[in-house]
Every structure is written in C-alpha cells, then in structure tokens.
Structure 1
C-alpha cells in the first residue's frame, strides 16, 4: 500500500517525458545556440516551455486524482495492519502502522481516537511508558471516545504510572545503596528516550563580528580565485569549535517522515499529526505551530500533489526554501531580491545587513553560489520539469491561479507571477546543489553506520571551500550544526571543508575526475604535493622529552578505548534503559588539551594523523543522538 499511496505511475511517466524534452531543448540551446547554462537562465526556461507546448501531451500539466491525504478509510487500513504486527509482537512495525493511521485520520474522528489508543498499547508493550502516557493524555481531548476504549485507556495509564513510579523508586534506592531491593523493583521495566533534551546548546565564547555564527578565530575574505572564503584570524586548536548555527531550511527524507519531528528533526514515538495533511508529524504542539508559521501552512495542501508526480526530497526542499523567502516578502515573489539586485554590492559583503551576514534572512540565501556545471544537464532538466509542476500547484494554492486552471503551459508562460516563481524555485534548486548539506545521524546497533535523514542549508558553512585535506567536521546536535577543527590551523591559513573526496580515501586521479565533473579544479596541498596515504609518511618532525610524548600517546590510547566502549554500548537497548548518550559531549574536552600536542610528533599527512582524524570523527558521532528502534 505504501508505494501506491504516494506516487502515481502515469504521472511519473508524464514527468519523465517532459524531462526528456527539456534535455533536448537545453542541449540545443547551449551547444547549438551557444547560450550559457547559468547566465542565460531566463531565455533557457522560456525555450523549454515553448518546446513543451508544441504537443498536446506535454502542453498541459495534469492534476492528480485520488491524491493521498487525510482519509479515515486509509487510517483504518493502517490500523488493521498495525494490529497484525501487534499480535505478532512486532512492536516496531506495529508502531509505524499506528503512527501512519494517526497521520491519515481526520481531526476529532473516531479513527484518530482508536489510532492513539492502539499506538499507546504498542508503546506500553515496548516499555515506552512515558510516550504511552502522552498518547493516552491526548485521548482526553477527543470529541469521540467510546466507553470501552476509555476503560482500557485508563487501565493502561494506571499501569504505566505505577511502572514509572517503581522505576523512580529503584533509582532512589540505588542512590541510597540499597541495591538488592532496587534489583527487585527493576524487574518491571520502563524505557524512554531523552537524548535530545540532555544536549545543552553550544554557545561560542566570542563571535566573528561579520559572520556571527562563526568564532572570532575566523575571518571572511574575498579573492577572484577563491571567491568568499574563511581564513584563521589566529591559531586554531585541534577540536576547537569554529561555527555554531541552525539550518535556514531543512527537510526529512520520505522514509523517515513518521520517525522524526518535521520541524526540530528529533526522533519521536508519541508524535502528533498535521491537521490538514498526512505527510508530516511533530514531537510537540510548539513545533507544529512553528512549522506552520515558517512554511508548512503553504506547502501543506500541495505536497500530496507533488508526491503523486514522484518529486524527490531535494526538490521539495527547494520549494520550501522558496516559500520561506516568499513569506518573508509577504507573498510577493517579485519583491524577493535577486542576484542581479546584489551585483552592485562588494562581492565580499553581498547579502550583508547592517555590516554582517544574517543567517536567518532570505537576502543571505540569494547571495549564495548558483552556478552549475554543464555536466549536470540531465539532473538540471529533471529539476526544471519539477519547477514547472511545483510553481503551478503553489500558485493555485495561493489563489494566484483559478482552481479550475487546466495547466496550460502556454497560458502560464504569459503570467509574470508564474515565471517569477519558476525562476525562484529553480534558483533555490541550484543554491542547494552548490551549498546544501546532506545530513545523517548515527544508527544504533551498527558500528560506524549512519542513516541519511535529510538535507539542510546552513548559510555560514557555505563560505568554506573544498580541500582534499579537510580541516573541519560538521555534526548535528539537536537543532544545532557544529563545526569543529580536525587539525591545528595556523593563523592566516584558509580553512577548508570537504566536498566528498579526500586524499587518504581516493587517489589523485579519481579526486580530480570527480571534481572536474563539477568544473572544480583543486589546488590543495594534497593535490599539489601528491600526497599518498602510506606508513612511510609517519616521519617525526619534532623531538620532545619522552615524558610529554608518552602522556600524549597514553591519552590517544585512552581515547581509543573510550570510542570502543561507546561503540559497544551503541545499542537501542542501552539508550532506552540508561536514558543517556554513551558519551557526553563535554567528555571530548578532556582529550583535546593533550591531543593538540600530537601534531608535534607527526605530519598532517601521516597515517597516524589520519587515524586520529577518524578517531575524532567516531568520538563526535557518539556525542550525537542516534537513530534507534525500541525493540532492536
């Protein structure tokens, strides 16, 4: 059922035909007419539409029928499937089916009452009593609540309260050293997850005055060769926090949309649905309200139509980025600043407001890099087809097109607002191609395994250029993205991130081929110096007294043991019963003071330095909330 409910094969096929026509048009425009893929954008878009309207099959954007949105019938089907898994004691699958039943049920319906009640039962059996009680508490506000369901809910609530009370008693007894009694109480289990709530926000001690999300150890520069880039204003230590920021826009992949909060991205088991669509859930009412205010009240009604065409997550994020910008300009796409508007600005400070780069306004987004390589024409054409579809349904939802519009592209091309919105979404796609981050989270029960959870645009982090020798690592903690140095950085050095290829994982030829595909020529130390990952590079560069050296290596050994212990504990059961991370974020500082001495003994391109980089990455991963299943 899940594969059928979202996409409609005939619409996917129609979009594929559109894509092929656009490929032909762009190839002719760029190769035959000599138009530039980036600078002649408007001309290319208009030519694509002209080519599509030549034939009736491609001229009209079809409107999907039987879209999957709020539907009590679908809710009952999911509840029936959930019951089957519940009877088989497969509470993970039972939980996901009941969550979908909640998402599809109409507000205040009997189906929603039963869906909450049934999910609370699955949570109870999974020993997730805190979440069980959250679902049961929502039943009190349901307009339809049959007496038999009310009785079962009250009994389940009493049992959950008792188990939680016993668990708290056990904890108190342990503090009182009455371990034997505590062990008896522990036979009744309760599990919960509060990993996100225990992560204290990181605050930079001193901020960069021009880019407040970065530390004062950084400096924004500009050159023709590198464009805008970041250098070290002073020496930066290994492990030092360089940047702290929230995403300007982010999303969740479709596969995890019922596992993670649609706004803060926290994993949740007692989620609440959107009142109007079935494609997002939230961990709290406040997240639901914030999402509606920021973007979801606009995208909500059109997402089911777009999913019917099989539009991918990365293009849906481009739509969200556009909507946020339009809401900032009070629904006036013509009032959103364009790159042309900013061309008169100093290239170093374009997008600045009051002397600084604001990471919470669309003006800063507009100033970001949008040029793409001609090698990406196929991907480019898919995105343009999606742009036409998204702009069409967006404008219908905003009442800028009549609800009975037939999707005629010939008519749409004459409408200035349609062409403006197509241009805005297209620009958002290209901004994300150049500046977007792929976001992942550690996966419990699997060593060194991460799960892709979505994408994000973190504006200040886009200022860092690529090197095959990365100097930073970016990790997500709660709703913050943290950038740390992965090696010592000298004052005046440019600070580099990495675009996917490193000198110690890929040989020079493969790196250059990959980067050339994106019209990028790398001149980093690793490429210019022909670095090769080898034990021979472990040459000592400084001699120091043995006492200090031994202390450094002992600390490194302790870090290895801490990582190994954390990885052994990286299980769903540990997180849910211990209710904490395997490693606390603050534990890292204990090692960093000593490990900064490490580079006195080994070159940056030594195999030992590479090992330390991997070890540091593994440790940081253990300080992140993992994606878990409650019965894995």
Structure 2
C-alpha cells in the first residue's frame, strides 16, 4: 500500500492539484466522507485496485513439502529443526488443493514429525486424514505401522490389534518386491511383540480464575468503578483497597485476530497452538484446530475474508488493517443490516458504550464503537492514509464478496455513489483509528520470551489508562484477557496498565517519543521524577534506610533467587505457593524501600512471569527422548 499511496500522491502533485485536494479533504467531517473522497481520487487518477492472490497450487504444495523433508531429514534430533519442518509441512497442507493427493502426502509427512515430537494423538489425526484421501496404496503400510506405534505408545491395545489386522491384510494383498515385502513382514512381527513406551500426558486446560462481578460491567471486579473527567476521559478506579495479586478483570474479547506469520502453527479462530491444524478449503491463509473452529470462523467472518485476504496481504496490509475489516464485518453481522448498524452506532455514542439494558457488554459492538479514535488530533496525511486503506478494503468487499448481498462490478464511481456501502467504509476507517490506541496484543510464553501472536479487541481493558510504572498487568489466557494487580492499590486510586513503554526499559525521552502515537503526555511519577532505567536502578543494600529494615528485606528475599530460577526454567507447575509468596514479597518491599528499587522491579517481573506461566498461553516445546 505504501507504493500505491505514493503513486497516487505523485499523480496528484503532477496534476498540480495537491493544495486543492488537501483543502477538500480537510473539509470532510466524517469517516464516510473521507472514504468517499479517497474513492473519488482513485477514480480520478486511474487507481483501480489490482493485485494478485496466492491460491492453492499443486506445485507450491510439493515445493513446500520437499523443503520440509529436507529440514526433517537433515535435522540432528534438534527440536527447533523439527518445529520448523512441522510448520513447513503445515504450509504445504494449506497450499494443497482440496482432496488432492498432495494434501494426503503432506498430512502423511507431517505425521512423521509429530511422531518424532511424541504428539501421538495428533499424529494419528494426520494419518487418518491421509488415509481418507488419495494416499497411494503402495505407501499405506508406512502409515499403518506409524499408527500402530502411536497407539502402542498410548497403550490403546484394542485399537492396536485392529490396525495390526489392517496392516496384515494390506501386506497380503499388495504387490511389492520380495525384499520390500520381507522388510514389512519383519516390521509386522516386531510390532506384534513390541512393548511400547507410554505417551507423555497432555496438561489439563488451564482454569480461568473467578471474580466477583461488577453488576453493570460483567467482565470487571466489583472492586472497580468506571469514572469520567475531562483530564482522563473514561478511566477505572478502585472502590476498596486492592491487594497485590488480586484479579480485577476477566474479559472475553469482542474479537481476536492471528498474526499472519503464525497462521501455520496456531488456529486462526481461537488463536491456540495446535499440532495438527486443518486448512481452509479455499484459501491458503487460514488453518484451524478443529472443525468447530473452522465452522464458527466461516459463519462469523471468514466466508467474507476468504476471497480477499490474499489480495490484501499481497498489497502489504498488516494485522491492524486486516483487523479493522474483521471488526467491521462482525459489527454488521451482529446487527444484521447497515440500517441497524447506523442506529446502533448513534445509540452507543449517546450511552458511552452501555447497551439498552444498562450493561457494558464488552463482547458487543456497542462498547467497542465508543473507544477513542483521536480523529481530531490526527494529521491530514494520517487520515488520508487510513481513508485510502479503508477504500481499498471496501472495493474488494464490494467486488469479490457477497457481504452487501451480491458481488458488484468494479466501478469506483458506482461504489462512491452508494451511500449505504460507503457508510460501511466509514466504519472500517473508524476501526483503523480505534485500533492503534485501544487494541491489545494477544501473547503466549515461549521459553523465556513473551511473544505477540495476535491482537484482541477488549473494550473494557481499553479504558485503563497508561503509566510507565503501572499497578496492574495483563495476561492472555485462551478466550480471555486477565488483568491483575502487581502492587497494592489504595481505595479510590486509578488503575494503570502499561502500553509497552516502561520506565525500566526506556528512558524518559524515548518513552515520550513512543507515546506520541497515543496523543498524550504521561504524567506518572516515573516521568515526573525521571526514574532511571533498569541497569541504573538502586539496590536496597545501598539505600539510605535503617539496618533493621535491610535485615528484614534480606530475610524476606532469602528464597527469592530460587523463585527466579523456577520462573526462568518454567518449573512452577507443582509450586502454587509462588502466586502467594511473590505478592507478599512485593507488598512488604514497598513498606521498606522508596521507589524506584531494583529488588521491587525484580519481584514484580518474576510475579508477572509466574502468573503468565500459570494462567497464560504457552508454546510448549516437546522434549525429545
């Protein structure tokens, strides 16, 4: 899109109409009018959207499968190589035409990696899928013996016997060279007399913590209240003393979206890691953990996204732009018509996001619509860029999907004249302004890192303001986002999240530059007093505090290094006491030392890590035996 925008601007400049177009664009008072003007400019200067789109292709699938084979075969029992091969096989599966032999071969080959990674149930899933498709009969023996090994590892003796009988029948009826047939007979005899090792047990699904719900805000604790003033806008305060470690919000997102680069390792609908993903039958951009997720995605939004996401990716659209389209589609689907969507938008503005029943439903568009757009603070160029992006998305929705009842002919003029559909373009542009200031990262733990795998629209969490020294933190957990206190918070105090711009990792100047994207200047204590970054933080040992306090702190921290090691090595499963002990350490440290303090920072970060490992999403790397 950068090239297209530059080309359009150059054409406007070459025609000597730059000042005129800027002046006219400034006069546009709504997002709908801005999108209409972008469409008109595209028509005026011959910028009809044109892009190619990756489609399912035999050659592409075979090429990816061969690349995965190379990685797998050349690996020297390295789990990271196996993970790379597994992901590349998934890409081959996504690229393979529906019900083709290439699809069956890709499933079969991925099952080999899954066996090596001890993912036995998922390996069997892939084997069954391959066998149900056009898998070559002469190769079926390999899969049957692989399935026997998986079933044996799972100690499922009844199913092992059934597959042994199937393998025996296959061997008796297949025409093979004598030496090859003999090899299979030896394998069959070995399988019948094998003592299989037990499969590693899958961990239970993590429980989502419970809270006492606020009567008007179901996702929030009763200890919170929504307030408004001119300085902070809508913001969240406490109604009682909050203890460190207390859970304050458990919010189900209005919607989530997966990063495009995670599409072959995680489900495109629920965003969870899955080892045996199944593809969309039409496009190459979405894979799912189950038929249920696949069906839900199709009914909610993917039937519309499927024909056009490939074009948008080719044009360089990123996660945020794609999410703006999804949010708009979901809003329209929620109410059923553009007329009802207009009514809902007007009602939401009048009620500050609360629904007709007086409840703030964070899973409804009414709450999402009212999040801040900062439209009055944006430059003309910023708004033009978003209008042009929205116009392109609208054009593809208009011409390649049935979102508006049918597919229309590719006429920019006709589109610009259709008031109902251009209103929807304005909704897309609105999401493009909401997203930068409100949308949250959806994350998972990978070894010692926290990795951004997607984005979530969380209307209530978006009302929590920023501080460079926050008092709460967030944790992505399956279908929910959990917000928890990381330090004690006084009654009547505002709760503050961190927008990825923390005093410990950025100096004040860098933080202020980064925060410009949110259109405010932070006034937290860390900014007012210009606290140092982590490497310059003071330890309690050299602070001007009494020896008695230093002795108490040393006693308090006597097991802390062990806690850090447990958190670093992810050895917390049998140590639930860490979620109690670490908040205690934080609370007591704050009684003894002034801020900023190195030990307080360390305790908070360790607690956040333990909380994420306990409740959050996690990419568990298999251990090879």
Partner of 2:565: 564
Pairs aligned (count): 577
**Whole-angstrom CA distance in 1 between matches of 2:30 and 2:17:** 11
TM-score normalised by structure 2 residue count: 0.82
Q: 1:324 to 1:366 in 2, by over 3 A?
A: same
**Whole-angstrom CA distance in 2 between matches of 1:626 and 1:210:** 32
Partner of 2:206: 199
Q: 1:488 to 1:117 in 2, by over 3 A?
A: same
**Whole-angstrom CA distance in 2 between matches of 1:44 and 1:22:** 16
Please, which of 409, 412, 415 is the counterpart of residue 412 of structure 1?
Answer: 415
Output aligned runs, 1:536-551, within 5 Å: none
1:263 aligns with 2:259: no
**Whole-angstrom CA distance in 2 between matches of 1:402 and 1:464:** 41
Please, which of 128, 142, 156 is the counterpart of residue 146 of structure 2?
Answer: 156
**Whole-angstrom CA distance in 1 between matches of 2:454 and 2:553:** 38
**Whole-angstrom CA distance in 1 between matches of 2:205 and 2:311:** 39
1:85 aligns with 2:71: yes
**1:54 deviation in Å?**
2.4
**1:86 deviation in Å?**
3.1
Please, which of 235, 238, 255 is the counterpart of residue 232 of structure 1?
Answer: 238
Q: 1:566 to 1:381 in 2, by over 3 A?
A: same
Q: 1:319 to 1:477 in 2, by over 3 A?
A: same
1:98 aligns with 2:89: yes
**Whole-angstrom CA distance in 2 between matches of 1:383 and 1:402:** 26
Asked if 2 retains the 8 angstrom alpha-carbon contact of 1:237 and 1:485, the reply is: yes
Asked if 2 retains the 8 angstrom alpha-carbon contact of 1:15 and 1:309, the reply is: no
1:123 aligns with 2:114: yes
**1:405 deviation in Å?**
1.9
Please, which of 297, 306, 310 is the counterpart of residue 300 of structure 1?
Answer: 306
Partner of 1:618: 609
Q: Secondary structure at the match of 1:290?
A: helix
Q: Secondary structure at the match of 2:115?
A: helix
Asked if 2 retains the 8 angstrom alpha-carbon contact of 1:245 and 1:482, the reply is: yes
**1:79 deviation in Å?**
2.3
**1:522 deviation in Å?**
2.4
**1:36 deviation in Å?**
7.4
Q: 1:42 to 1:543 in 2, by over 3 A?
A: same
Asked if 1 retains the 8 angstrom alpha-carbon contact of 2:586 and 2:604, the reply is: no
Partner of 1:398: 402
Q: 1:269 to 1:585 in 2, by over 3 A?
A: farther
Asked if 1 retains the 8 angstrom alpha-carbon contact of 2:250 and 2:481, the reply is: yes
**Whole-angstrom CA distance in 2 between matches of 1:401 and 1:354:** 31
**1:376 deviation in Å?**
6.2
Asked if 2 retains the 8 angstrom alpha-carbon contact of 1:207 and 1:214, the reply is: yes
Asked if 1 retains the 8 angstrom alpha-carbon contact of 2:31 and 2:430, the reply is: no
Asked if 1 retains the 8 angstrom alpha-carbon contact of 2:215 and 2:222, the reply is: yes
**1:47 deviation in Å?**
3.2
**1:582 deviation in Å?**
5.3
Output aligned runs, 1:359-438, within 5 Å: 359-372=362-375, 374=377, 380-396=383-399, 397-398=401-402, 400=404, 403=407, 405-406=409-410, 408-438=411-441
Asked if 2 retains the 8 angstrom alpha-carbon contact of 1:372 and 1:434, the reply is: no
Asked if 2 retains the 8 angstrom alpha-carbon contact of 1:26 and 1:48, the reply is: no
Asked if 2 retains the 8 angstrom alpha-carbon contact of 1:103 and 1:273, the reply is: yes
Tell me the alpha carbon deviations over residues 265-311 of structure 1, each in whole angstroms, 9 at most, x when there is no partner: 11111111122222111112222222223222221222122222221
Q: Secondary structure at the match of 1:470?
A: coil
1:248 aligns with 2:254: yes
**1:45 deviation in Å?**
3.2
1:464 aligns with 2:464: yes
Tell me the alpha carbon deviations over residues 525-552 of structure 1, each in whole angstroms, 9 at most, x when there is no partner: 3334554566669599999988xx9676
Q: 1:375 to 1:430 in 2, by over 3 A?
A: closer
Output aligned runs, 1:11-22, within 5 Å: 13-14=3-4, 16-18=6-8
**Whole-angstrom CA distance in 1 between matches of 2:336 and 2:343:** 13
Q: Secondary structure at the match of 2:145?
A: helix
**Whole-angstrom CA distance in 2 between matches of 1:378 and 1:395:** 25
**1:93 deviation in Å?**
3.2
Partner of 1:598: 589
Q: 1:380 to 1:268 in 2, by over 3 A?
A: farther
Please, which of 198, 205, 217 is the counterpart of residue 223 of structure 2?
Answer: 217
Asked if 2 retains the 8 angstrom alpha-carbon contact of 1:395 and 1:401, the reply is: no
1:76 aligns with 2:62: yes
Asked if 2 retains the 8 angstrom alpha-carbon contact of 1:127 and 1:190, the reply is: no
**1:435 deviation in Å?**
0.5
Question: For structure 1, which segment, 124-133 or 17-26, has the greater mean C-alpha deviation from structure 2 after superposition?
Answer: 17-26
Q: Which has the higher Rg, Structure 1 or Structure 2?
A: 2
**Whole-angstrom CA distance in 1 between matches of 2:219 and 2:585:** 27
**Whole-angstrom CA distance in 2 between matches of 1:278 and 1:255:** 12
Please, which of 438, 443, 447 is the counterpart of residue 446 of structure 2?
Answer: 443
- Backbone CA RMSD of aligned residues: 3.6
**1:162 deviation in Å?**
1.6
Q: Secondary structure at the match of 2:421?
A: helix
**1:226 deviation in Å?**
1.2
Partner of 1:454: 454
Tell me the alpha carbon deviations over residues 485-542 of structure 1, each in whole angstroms, 9 at most, x when there is no partner: 1111000111111223333443434433443454313233333455456666959999
Please, which of 86, 90, 103 is the counterpart of residue 112 of structure 1?
Answer: 103
Tell me the alpha carbon deviations over residues 67-103 of structure 1, each in whole angstroms, 9 at most, x when there is no partner: 2223334323322323333332453333222212222
Q: 1:249 to 1:410 in 2, by over 3 A?
A: same
TM-score normalised by structure 1 residue count: 0.81
Q: 1:163 to 1:401 in 2, by over 3 A?
A: closer
**1:15 deviation in Å?**
5.3
**Whole-angstrom CA distance in 2 between matches of 1:382 and 1:334:** 28
Asked if 2 retains the 8 angstrom alpha-carbon contact of 1:466 and 1:498, the reply is: yes
Asked if 2 retains the 8 angstrom alpha-carbon contact of 1:92 and 1:631, the reply is: no
Tell me the alpha carbon deviations over residues 553-607 of structure 1, each in whole angstroms, 9 at most, x when there is no partner: 545442431221332358xxxxxxxxxx757667413443454333221234334
**Whole-angstrom CA distance in 2 between matches of 1:23 and 1:356:** 50
Q: Secondary structure at the match of 1:244?
A: strand
Tell me the alpha carbon deviations over residues 443-470 of structure 1, each in whole angstroms, 9 at most, x when there is no partner: 22xx3x2322111111210111112221
Q: 1:584 to 1:326 in 2, by over 3 A?
A: farther
**1:234 deviation in Å?**
0.2
Output aligned runs, 1:18-33, within 5 Å: 18=8, 28=19, 32=23
Q: 1:527 to 1:101 in 2, by over 3 A?
A: closer
Q: Secondary structure at the match of 1:489?
A: coil
Please, which of 326, 337, 342 is the counterpart of residue 332 of structure 2?
Answer: 326
**Whole-angstrom CA distance in 1 between matches of 2:198 and 2:82:** 15
Tell me the alpha carbon deviations over residues 367-422 of structure 1, each in whole angstroms, 9 at most, x when there is no partner: 1111247566655444332211211221231164875723x322221112331121
